[in-house]
């Protein structure tokens, strides 16, 4: 299976994902007082935010398998596992730990919907730091942190999936992995999102083996269409079947679209590059701008967008990128290029 080059369509997917989450929380804060946070101006914000996170899950699995293919070729299994976990730890933890500390030091509540800040004890704090708070049902220091433990837990099995796929190079084994993940997800809540991640395995297997037949310009509208369809379906955020079907649809579609650089793709690559910072920083900024500062109402959404852009840029260059490079050096790989956006993490 060829490694493949950079796919601009994945930047668009990641951009739609993070902008859906950002739009969800902005709409909830604006409309929360009058309408309640679930339905804001006719938009089911729970569903909009959920589909954004599901897109992240598909994207995460796919690009990490591609990364394992680039860096794991010719290495022993022990090296593959070690290098993967070192680079993942230096990618996902530094920024999340930084923003957790900011939230605790300044007593920032988990969202900007008039909920109070509550210190739940040292166990709660350290479980959030380690991104394992979902195991014991602990609350999140900040709302967007809820998805990260599921990503961390997916990391436990992803190198093994990669090695399995390298040994058994058949679509049957790929389908078997997906079905096993779907069955496991019904057995325990910790595995609820496994099939959403594993849709990325389907995309990984099909990339390079199927001929792209759909034009690149159609990719964005199709992903927006899936987002809208998921959002307008009543209580779609509560349906496991709809979530899994949506992710599987995205996973199957990714290889079918031609991947060409465009103006939209170029803009999306910048959003994707800073998406982790956008995802984690926008909630405390919403709290600051909507709950702590006295500002004209019309200016608040504009300031949220500008502040999120600035803070995510600073976080990337001051925290994310230096630690990504450090992780690469620890595993004796070449330094990453600033253009790389498949450094995941997600939501």
CA pair distance 306, 213, nearest whole angstrom:
38
* 216 and 8 Cβ atoms separated by less than 8 Å: yes
* 133 and 149 Cβ atoms separated by less than 8 Å: yes
Residues 6+ away with beta carbon under 8 Å from 220: 12, 16, 264
| Domain segments of the chain as ranges | 8-330
CA pair distance 57, 347, nearest whole angstrom:
8
Nearest to 141 by CA among 40, 287, 312, 29: 287
Q: Tens of pLDDT along 165-216? A: 888 777 777 888 888 888 898 888 889 999 999 999 999 999 878 889 899 9
Phi, psi for 331 (deg, rounded to 5): -100, 10
* 315 and 66 Cβ atoms separated by less than 8 Å: no
Q: What's residue 37's pLDDT? A: 66
Q: What's residue 43's pLDDT? A: 85
Residues 6+ away with beta carbon under 8 Å from 34: none
CA pair distance 83, 185, nearest whole angstrom:
27
**Tens of each residue's pLDDT in the chain, 347 residues:** 344 568 899 999 999 999 999 999 999 998 865 555 677 778 889 999 999 999 999 999 999 999 898 887 777 888 888 999 999 999 999 999 999 999 999 999 999 888 899 999 999 999 999 999 999 999 999 999 999 999 999 999 999 999 888 887 777 778 888 888 888 988 888 899 999 999 999 999 998 788 898 999 999 999 999 999 999 988 766 789 999 999 999 999 999 999 888 788 889 999 999 999 999 999 999 999 999 999 999 999 999 999 999 999 999 999 999 999 999 888 875 544 443 444 444 44
pTM for the whole structure: 0.91
Query: What Å distances lie between residue 142 and 25, 134, 267, 289, CA to CA?
Result: 12, 13, 28, 16
CA pair distance 55, 96, nearest whole angstrom:
20
* Residue 5, token pair as written in the block: 């080059």
């Amino acid at each position: 299976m060829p490694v493949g080059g950079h796919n601009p369509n994945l930047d668009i997917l990641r951009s739609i994902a993070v902008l859906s989450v950002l739009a969800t929380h902005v709409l909830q804060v604006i409309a929360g007082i009058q309408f309640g946070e679930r339905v804001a101006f006719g938009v089911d914000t729970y569903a909009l935010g959920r589909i954004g996170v599901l897109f992240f899950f598909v994207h995460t699995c796919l690009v990490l398998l591609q990364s394992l293919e680039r860096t794991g070729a010719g290495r022993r299994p022990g090296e593959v596992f070690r290098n993967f976990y070192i680079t993942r730890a230096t990618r996902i933890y530094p920024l999340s730990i930084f923003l957790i500390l900011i939230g605790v030091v300044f007593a920032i509540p988990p969202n900007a919907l008039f909920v109070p800040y509550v210190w739940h004890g040292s166990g709660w704090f350290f479980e959030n730091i380690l991104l394992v708070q979902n195991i014991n049902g602990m609350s999140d220091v900040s709302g967007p942190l809820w998805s990260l433990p599921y990503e961390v837990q997916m990391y436990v099995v992803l190198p093994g999936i990669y090695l399995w796929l390298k040994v058994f190079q058949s679509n049957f084994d790929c389908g078997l992995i997906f079905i096993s993940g779907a069955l496991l997800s019904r057995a325990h809540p910790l595995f609820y999102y496994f099939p959403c991640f594993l849709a990325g395995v389907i995309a990984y297997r099909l990339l390079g083996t199927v001929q792209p037949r759909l034009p690149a310009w159609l990719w964005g509208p199709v992903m927006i269409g899936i987002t809208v369809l998921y959002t307008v379906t009543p209580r779609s955020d509560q349906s496991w079947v709809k979530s899994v079907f949506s992710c599987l649809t995205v996973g199957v579609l990714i290889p079918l679209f031609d991947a060409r650089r465009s103006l939209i793709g170029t803009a999306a690559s910048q959003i994707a590059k800073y998406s982790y910072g956008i995802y984690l920083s926008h909630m405390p900024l919403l709290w600051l701008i909507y709950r702590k500062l006295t500002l004209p109402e019309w200016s608040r959404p504009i300031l949220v967008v500008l502040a999120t852009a600035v803070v995510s840029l600073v976080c990337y260059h001051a925290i994310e990128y230096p630690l990504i490079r450090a992780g690469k050096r620890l595993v004796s790989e070449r330094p990453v290029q600033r253009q790389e956006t498949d450094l995941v993490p997600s939501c």
